[in-house]
Chains A and B, each alone.
Chain A
Amino acid sequence: ILNVEQSPQSLHVQEGDSTNFTCSFPSSNFYALHWYRWETAKSPEALFVMTLNGDEKKKGRISATLNTKEGYSYLYIKGSQPEDSATYLCAFCSNDYKLSFGAGTTVTVRA
């Protein structure tokens, strides 16, 4: 099991504010980095799969960056809305195709 750390564990954001949080992973044997959004009582849903150092992905108000050399990825939420409330999971895929998940960052957007 590889060490994938997400911080903070939880955060509260005022509606309309922007926020970001981190996923740290091993800087060796990198193959891909996944981000998933997991809303309460629903299934985890894939947001991004990132493979290249310097990659930036965007989906609506959510974006992610990737630094494979130093082993971190940031997820940004711009202008948070209540529907952004969820747990955001990152998963590191090593080059033997094994996926290791972080414990998640739980975001609560206050109206």
Chain B
Amino acid sequence: ETGVTQTPRHLVMGMTNKKSLKCEQHLGHNAMYWYKQSAKKPLELMFVYNFKEQTENNSVPSRFSPECPNSSHLFLHLHTLQPEDSALYLCASSQVGLGNEKLFFGSGTQLSVL
């Protein structure tokens, strides 16, 4: 148990669907992240929120829409995705932000887009 909970663990969606991924951290951290892992590729940073403010958007397509209502919750809203968006989506949190502060990861959502 890392203190970071992601739901759902698995998601299958069609290209016209709208779905949301949820992440919750119980560690009192003030920074939260969305990462994407495609097969055989390194973890790819998508979004960073520090103190609920988005500080990083790594050229992510607008069909991915993050929401951070408070420092403990992070959502990733998905709409009109493409099959190439099928991947593992990981949420992470840390205190203060990136640096020598280690990341605490959730278990991820395995997403399949049909």
Closest to B37 in A: A101
How far is A44 from B108 in the complex, measured between Cα atoms in Å? 10
A74 to B: closest C-beta gap in Å = 19
How far is A44 from B106 in the complex, measured between Cα atoms in Å? 8
Within 8 A of B (CB), among A51-78: 51
Task: Digitize B92-110: 1 where CB-to-A-CB distance is under 8 Å, 0 elsewhere.
Answer: 0000011111111111100
Q: Given the complex, which residues of B lie within 8 Å of A43, measured CB to CB? A: 2, 4, 90, 104-108
Task: Digitize B59-102: 1 where CB-to-A-CB distance is under 8 Å, 0 elsewhere.
Answer: 00000000000000000000000000000001000000111111
A99 at the interface (CB under 8 A from B): yes
Closest to A89 in B: B43
Q: How many residues of A contact B (CB 8 A)?
A: 24
Q: How many residues of B contact A (CB 8 A)?
A: 21
Interface centre among B41, B42, B99, B100 (most CB of A within 10 A): B42
Task: Digitize A1-17: 1 where CB-to-B-CB distance is under 8 Å, 0 elsewhere.
Answer: 00010000000000000
B111 at the interface (CB under 8 A from A): no
Q: Given the complex, which residues of B lie within 8 Å of A89, measured CB to CB? A: 42-43
B59 to A: closest C-beta gap in Å = 10
Given the interface pairs A97-B97, A99-B45, A104-B42, the reply to whether A42 lies near B107 with Cβ below 8 Å is yes
Q: Given the complex, which residues of A lie within 8 Å of B90, measured CB to CB? A: 43-44
A98 at the interface (CB under 8 A from B): yes
**3 closest A-B pairs by CB:** A46-B102, A101-B43, A43-B105
